[in-house]
Amino acid sequence: MITAIIVTGLLLIVAILVTVFRVQSLISITKKADERVGTSNKVNAVLFPVFLVIGFGLAIWISFYSDKFLLPEASSTHGKETDNLFWITMGVIGAVFFATHILLFWFPFQYQYKKERRATFYPHNNNLEVVWTIIPGIVLTTLVISGWWVWRDIMKDAPEDAVVVELVGKQFNWIVRYPGDKQAVLGQSKSELGRYDYRLIDATNEIGIDFTDVNSFDDFTSTEIHIPKGKPVLLKIHARDVLHSVFMPHFRLKMDAVPGMQTRFWFVPEKTTAEMRAELGNPNFNYELACTEVCGRGHFSMRTLVVVDEPAEYAKWVANRKPFLAQNRDYLKLVPANLKEKALQVVGPEEGAEPAAAPADSASAPAVASVPVATK
């Protein structure tokens, strides 16, 4: 089908070309040589306002046409503000767009060449220049300052009690890690992510979690992102191979994932997935996480589901997660002997086996993590 379209298109163009060229070489013979312009000057002059009217019509039409495909109202607190800013800015620039184009396309028609007329010699007017330097200046300053307030709020440090989720970009999917909720067992004051080091990465331990860090014992990974509604959520982001970028369009959220450097973004989700489904009348609606920094072949397919739960549901979900260490008990080997007991308390005894006799094999624990490690 495309072949057909292209071939027709090309034929059409060749046809237009030949006809125009024929016709016009015939005309040009008759055209008086001393005239500065011919009839085509008029035609072009008229085409500008025509273009203006039809163009405006189409621009307005497409705005309505597109409306139903745009993203639903932002599902995050800051997203509502940035959307507001965006639409106010669009209003301002839309007005300027219409006003300037009316002049730009009207003048060619109005002031098309007439033999008997002379253009007005009007080389400058400093007052005008000052006016149209100052007015855009004021408008832009207003927009910048309102933008800056919002930006500052978005980028300030996350509240202490924010739910922490780690997102790690890799070719070509996202890895999601939570700090776990067993800090009491571990004797820690706070639920924290364990350290990671890219040199510890293997096929299973995809982030390179460092199991010499107590905080890592209760960390769990997930294939989906769950977050509680109405609570601040702090994303701790990095990449392990090339640049990626965390993009959650429904939350108006974007932050690059950089290897060797942690980036952060915090936000407050305002609507659960269920609420969105009801609101949009779409039982299949899902929040999504995409990648927006080109990262290679699979860049367009780095999808991870994001689920916003009611806080109670979320707590239940977290409680039901098994720590990474519990699911991959091999890695217990990496836990230093003095911490093994704590680790076992968190991961529990192996199903069907007696509690391990720790001292017996502590000597064979691999000597790892003598290297300095990246911090949280």
Partner 1 sequence: MATANLDIHDGAHAHSHDHDHEHEHHELGFIRSYVFSEDHKVIAKQYLITGLIWAFIGGFLSILFRIQLGFPEAKLFWLKPLLGGWIDDSGKLDANFYLALVTMHGTIMVFFVLTAGLSGTFSNYLIPLQVGARDMASGFMNMLSFWFFFLSSVLMFGSLFLSTGPAGGGWTVYPPLSAVKTANPGSEMGMTLWLVSMAFFIVSQLLGGVNYVTTVINLRTRGMSFSRLPLTVWAFFITAIIGLLSFPVLFSAALLLIFDREFHTSFFLSDLYVAGQALDNRGGSPILFQHLFWFLGHPEVYIVLLPALGITSEIIATNSRKPIFGYRAMIVSMLAIMVLSFIVWAHHMFVTGMNPFLGSIFMFLTLIIAVPSAVKAFNYITTLWRGNIVFTPAMLFSIGLVSLFISGGLTGVALGNSAIDIQLHDTYFVVAHFHLVMGSASFFGMMAGVYHWFPKMFGRMMDEKLGYVHFWMTFIGVYMVFFPMHYIGIAGFPRRYYSFTNFDFSKSFTDLNMFISIAAIVTFSSQLIFAFNFFYSIFKGRKAPQNPWHSTTLEWTAPVNPGHGNWVGEIPTVYRWPYDYSKPGAQEDFIPQTVPYAATPESNLPHEIDDEELYTDTPEVKSAH
Residue 159 near partner 1 by CB under 8 A = no
Residue 234 near partner 1 by CB under 8 A = no
d(CA 147, CA 162): 24
Supply the DSSP symbol for 284. T
Q: How far is the CB of 184 from partner 1 (least distance, A)?
A: 32
User: Of the candidates 128, 129, 110, 130, which has an alpha carbon nearest to the alpha carbon of residue 120?
Assistant: 110
Radius of gyration, CA atoms only, the chain: 32
| Near Cu ion by CB under 5 A: residue from 264, 299, 322, 329 | 299
Residue with tokens 């680790």: 343
- Contact segment (CB under 8 A) with partner 1 among 211-219, 282-290, 320-328, 350-358 equals 282-290
- Contact segment (CB under 5 A) with Cu ion among 29-37, 97-105, 247-255, 286-294 equals 286-294
d(CA 18, CA 21): 5
| Near partner 1 by CB under 8 A: residue from 53, 57, 132, 333 | 132
Q: How far is the CB of 356 from partner 1 (least distance, A)?
A: 30
- DSSP letters for 59-101: HHHHHHHHHTTSPPSPSBHHHHHHHHHHHHHHHHHHHHHHHHH
Residue 252 near partner 1 by CB under 8 A = yes
> Interface residues for partner 1 in 76-115 (CB under 8 A)?
79, 81-83, 85-86, 89-90, 92-93, 96-97, 100-101, 103-105, 107-108, 111-114
> Interface residues for partner 1 in 284-323 (CB under 8 A)?
284-286, 288, 290-301, 303
Residue 272 near partner 1 by CB under 8 A = no
Select 291 or 344, whichever has its Cβ closest to Cu ion.
Answer: 291
Per DSSP, what are the bridge partners of residue 265? 235
Residue 198 near partner 1 by CB under 8 A = yes
Contact 52, 105 (CB under 8 A): yes
Residue 283 near partner 1 by CB under 8 A = no
Compute the C-alpha angle 229/252/163, nearest 5°: 35
Which of Cu ion, partner 1, none is residue 222 near (CB under 5 to 8 Å by kind)? none
Q: In this structure, what token pair is assigned to residue 323? A: 């720590």
Select 32 or 297, whichever has its Cβ closest to partner 1.
Answer: 297
| Near partner 1 by CB under 8 A: residue from 188, 222, 231, 259 | 259
- Contact segment (CB under 5 A) with Cu ion among 33-41, 43-51, 78-86, 283-291 equals 283-291
Residue 49 near partner 1 by CB under 8 A = no
d(CA 232, CA 261): 22
Residue 47 near partner 1 by CB under 8 A = yes
Instruction: Output the CA torsion 85→90→96→102 (10° steps).
Output: -160
Q: In this structure, what token pair is assigned to residue 284? A: 């299949």
Contact 213, 177 (CB under 8 A): no
d(CA 111, CA 10): 36
- Contact segment (CB under 5 A) with Cu ion among 58-66, 86-94, 256-264, 291-299 equals 291-299
SS3 222: strand
Residue 168 near Cu ion by CB under 5 A = no
Select 104 or 337, whichever has its Cβ closest to partner 1.
Answer: 104
User: Of the candidates 226, 212, 166, 222, which has an alpha carbon nearest to the alpha carbon of residue 191?
Assistant: 166
Q: How far is the CB of 141 from partner 1 (least distance, A)?
A: 8
Residue 278 near partner 1 by CB under 8 A = no
Q: Which residues bind Cu ion (CB under 5 A)?
A: 244, 291, 295, 299
